[in-house]
Amino acid sequence: MMTWIQVPLQQEPNQQLSFYANSLVIDVRIITRGEQVYMDVAVDETDVQTCVRCLPNLPIVDYMPWKLGGNLVFVQVGDSGNPFSYEYFNTDWELWYYYG
């Protein structure tokens, strides 16, 4: 059975946060350049993936996701039609961590 945890984001173009899940400390850094959103992911202070382009509804970590113990994905909520952008984090687009 999959466990899903919503990762709280701010409506800011660049941000960094940490959360604890699946017995891991997961650090996420979001960087926005133009209209593109990128992410760095570290587990227990070890980089898992850096500067990966985030695409909606697709797993973010494509290289050794087992180090993350799961994966991260941006999911669209509702049907407002708003584009994938930091301006709509937590209203139209949510970041979720899943494992299991």
Rounded alpha-carbon distances, angstroms, from residue 23 to 16, 66, 92:
20, 13, 29
Both tokens of 80, joined, read 């407002």
Model pLDDT for residues 31-81, shown as the tens digit of each residue? 999 999 999 999 999 999 999 999 999 999 987 777 788 999 999 997 888
Cα–Cα distance for residue pair 69/53, rounded to 1 Å? 20
Q: How do strand 93-99 and strand 36-43 relate by DSSP bridges? A: unpaired
> According to the model, what pLDDT value does residue 58 have?
95
Cα–Cα distance for residue pair 16/28, rounded to 1 Å? 6
> According to the model, what pLDDT value does residue 90 have?
92
Model pLDDT for residues 50-64, shown as the tens digit of each residue? 999 999 999 999 877
Cα–Cα distance for residue pair 54/32, rounded to 1 Å? 10
* pTM: predicted TM-score of the whole model, two decimal places: 0.93
